[in-house]
Amino acid sequence: MSTTNVAAKSGAATRGNPLLGKWTAPFELPPFERIKPAHFRPAIDKGIETHKAEVEKILSNTATPTFANSIAAMEKSGALLTRVLRVFYNLTGSHTNPELQAIERDIAPILSKHGTEISLDPRLFARVDTIFARGKRQKLDAEQRRVLERTHAGLVRAGARLDAAAKTRMGEINSRLATLGTTFSQNVLADEQAYKLILEGEADLAGLPDFVRAAAKRAGDDLGHPGKHVITLSRSSIETFLQFSTRRDLREAAFAAWIRRGEGGGDHDNRAVATEILALRAERAKLLGFATFAKFRLEDAMAKTPEAVAKLLDQVWTAAKAKAGAERALLQRMVDSEGGNFQIEAWDWRHYAEKVRKAEYDLDEAEIKPYFQLDRMIEAAFDTATRLFGITFVARTDLPKYQEDVRTWEVKHPDGRHLGVFVGDYFARPSKRSGAWMSAFRGQQRLRGDIHPVIVNVLNFARGADGEPTLLSFTDARTLFHEFGHALHGLLSDVTYPSIAGTAVSTDFVELPSQLYEHWLEEPEVLKRFARHHTTGEPIPDTLLDRLKAANTFNQGFSTVEYVSSALADMELHALESFDGFDLSRFEADMLKRLGMPREIVMRHRLPHFAHIFSGGGYAAGYYSYMWSEVMDADAFDAFEETGNAFDPATAKKLAEFIYSAGNRRDPVEAYTAFRGRLPTPVAMMRNRGLV
């Protein structure tokens, strides 16, 4: 085929493609109503082609390398590809279908190859290294120096100093890892979509309160079982069922399906996939001069070494296991008092924990949930942001959206100027992967003009019945605040360069803004204003608030053991040097036996479905980050409490300046110290979890 014909074919494929044209909706939001799956592959190909041309122009420039013609120019490049991929990957996570999944599998190695070719191009590293070597002789501001430092470090860690053969192998590894990460994620989703526990009659519904029944009936209607009640493997569905169902046999069956995602044999079994991922990561680390992937990963994190992580996790593990043992004894006594002739098992824990909580603290979820209506919790999250940072949220029903349940708000500066757009996608559905996360359709920057962010929170709440409000557990409400803390990190970003904007910080720092934000949910003045009964409008009673506070550390041994066992498994996996003859299930069983894992508790994320560390690897050798950040968030909230005002303006101003708006402008140690005046200690975290 002639060059002319190739160009003509390419033009025909991209002409009229809504992903490639000008976006004319308010705030330049994507034209979701016009985008079809068939539009993505031509748009991605065009984005790659354009990005290659932009990079080639930079690298073939014969002028002396400078920050402007090299670093800043690279930051500007790839805008089209980034725009298309942000839409694509947001949809594959939150509203996917078989067509999108096929494209996702196809493009994973292509995008990896594209990124590797750029990062390992010797011309790029030569330019960056030349600029980096000039050091302080250049007239660069602090943000430019940080971008230069991070760019140089990123290229070195990508393999820019390797020889040609090693670079070739690095490219092969990256490509294969991209494919495997996509496969892992899609396998987990397939297992989640495949399972439905259909509750046939009143006997199957035994123990379930009205709000659980309503959500299960809605799930049945949505999943093609009208009139039936259906439990899915969405966390908000399965956990409430395990909490309330008095049918121990059904709890056991549902729990078994939940914990065996990715381990059922057949096409969706992830054990071989995970093993290959681990082996390739270890090989990549060795190519870069590190004994293990864990050492490679942590060198560029706040923690710096696996030993520092182990010190924290081991300290918490010992205390958590002891507390969990005491909790188990309470639960077993409850079983015995009811005449149950059995030892408590993992599928019993949530059920009897709910009973003990009611007995010990006069609390049960059915009493709490009516006060935690989804809409009011969204208002609470917004109001907290207004009080801390002065920003406001205006509902917009005129903006395009990718699914009918999605909601959008315009976010404004204190002076009324446009700040960004916030998108909320709150309800579970089969097209959405499980979990909760924050992402962006557009990140903030000033390099290519004053670009305002478009941030999305995706959650998986069980929607209420038709005409009824969606009620949240206190844990659900905490999750909403957590993800909104991430959203604020993206919305408040105020930097020039896209590579350091918003949440582009080290993994063990990125959870600080989100976990810190959770603390405001527990403030009595927030709860009294927004936690109102969904039928009477009455504020949550002081007596219930007192009981909630008294129960704050209840079941924290269980929760901490669940989490820390997963974090320890992640670190131990990535500390291995060889995977010859490796068996993922045997590794997990042996590790848990060595740790003395309580028999009645299962890891929060068993390895065959541990998407945090295997679906792309954002938290590989980094799942500890939640606890590392919890040390900081507990200490950081103490900064407010020390003033006697949870909304202290001076402290909030420093929080915005050094944490929420600063992106990766500073090293995280420097950023936290600038906010707090010192580094954190684990005292507040251990106290909050009731471990001291």
* Domain harbouring 351, CATH code: 1.10.1370.10
Q: What is the mean pLDDT of residues 482-507?
A: 98
Residue 171 resides in a domain: no
Residue 432 resides in a domain: yes
Residue 663 and residue 527 in one domain: yes
Interval 370-427: pLDDT, tens: 999 999 999 999 999 999 999 999 999 999 999 999 999 999 999 999 999 999 999 9
Residue 6 resides in a domain: no
CB within 8 Å of 274: residues ≥ 6 apart: 184, 584, 607, 608, 610, 614
Residue 491 and residue 595 in one domain: no
Last residue of a domain, one of 579, 595, 614: 614
Residue 271 resides in a domain: no
Residue 201 and residue 321 in one domain: no
Look at 147-161, 270-284, 359-373 and tell me which has the smallest mean pLDDT: 359-373
Q: What is the mean pLDDT of residues 23-51?
A: 97
Q: What is the pLDDT of residue 13?
A: 61
Q: What is the mean pLDDT of residues 575-582?
A: 96
The β-bridge partners of 481 are none
CA dihedral of 84, 90, 93, 99, whole degrees rounded to 10: -40
Residue 644 and residue 609 in one domain: no
Put simply, whether the predicted model's pTM sits higher than 0.95 gets the answer no
Q: Is the pLDDT at 23 greater than 50, yes or no? A: yes
**Interstrand relation of 197-199 and 229-231 (parallel, antiparallel or unpaired):** antiparallel
Q: What is the DSSP string of 292-361?
A: SHHHHHHHTSSS-SHHHHHHHHHHHHHHHHHHHHHHHHHHHHHHHHTT--S---HHHHHHHHHHHHHHHH
Q: What is the pLDDT of residue 11?
A: 54
Confidence of residue 15 (pLDDT cuts 50, 70, 90): confident
Q: Is the pLDDT at 650 greater than 80, yes or no? A: yes
To the query of whether residue 670 is one of the catalytic residues in this protein, the response is no
Look at 93-97, 362-366, 675-679 and tell me which has the smallest mean pLDDT: 362-366
Residue 183 resides in a domain: no
Residue 268 resides in a domain: no
Q: What is the pLDDT of residue 8?
A: 45
Nearest to 674 by CA among 662, 685, 686: 662
Question: Judging by beta carbons within 10 Å of its beta carbon (0-12, 13-18, 19+), is residue 627 exposed, middle or buried?
Answer: buried
Residue 414 and residue 432 in one domain: yes
Choice between 92 and 136, residue whose per-residue pLDDT is larger: 92
Confidence of residue 3 (pLDDT cuts 50, 70, 90): very low
Residue 275 resides in a domain: no
Q: What total number of domains does the chain contain?
A: 4
Q: Is the pLDDT at 162 greater than 80, yes or no? A: yes
Residue 142 resides in a domain: yes
Q: What is the pLDDT of residue 617?
A: 82
Percent composition of the chain: helix, strand, coil (DSSP 3-state, to 5):
60, 5, 35
Last residue of a domain, one of 111, 144, 161: 161
CB 312 within 8 A of CB 632: no
Interval 442-476: pLDDT, tens: 999 999 999 999 999 999 999 888 888 999 999 99
Domain containing residue 580: 280-363+556-614
Q: Is the pLDDT at 290 greater than 80, yes or no? A: yes
Q: What is the pLDDT of residue 343?
A: 97
Residue 531 and residue 444 in one domain: yes
Residue 249 and residue 285 in one domain: no
Residue 232 and residue 326 in one domain: no
Choice between 7 and 216, residue whose per-residue pLDDT is larger: 216
Q: What is the pLDDT of residue 6?
A: 39
20: domain CATH number?
Answer: 1.10.1370.40
Residue 233 and residue 141 in one domain: no
Residue 454 and residue 500 in one domain: yes
CB within 8 Å of 171: residues ≥ 6 apart: 112, 113, 116, 117, 120
> Which residue among the candidates 483, 518, 600, 630 is catalytic per the annotation?
483
Q: What is the mean pLDDT of residues 87-103?
A: 97
Residue 542 and residue 683 in one domain: yes
Q: Is the pLDDT at 2 greater than 60, yes or no? A: no
Q: What is the distance between the alpha carbons of residues 84 and 41, in angstroms, rounded to a whole number?
A: 10
User: Across the chain, what does the average pLDDT equal?
Assistant: 95
Report the run of H or E that residue 209 belongs to, with start and end: none
Q: What is the mean pLDDT of residues 145-152?
A: 98
Confidence of residue 14 (pLDDT cuts 50, 70, 90): confident
Residue 411 and residue 474 in one domain: yes
Last residue of a domain, one of 205, 226, 259: 259
Residues in the chain: 692
CB 433 within 8 A of CB 104: no
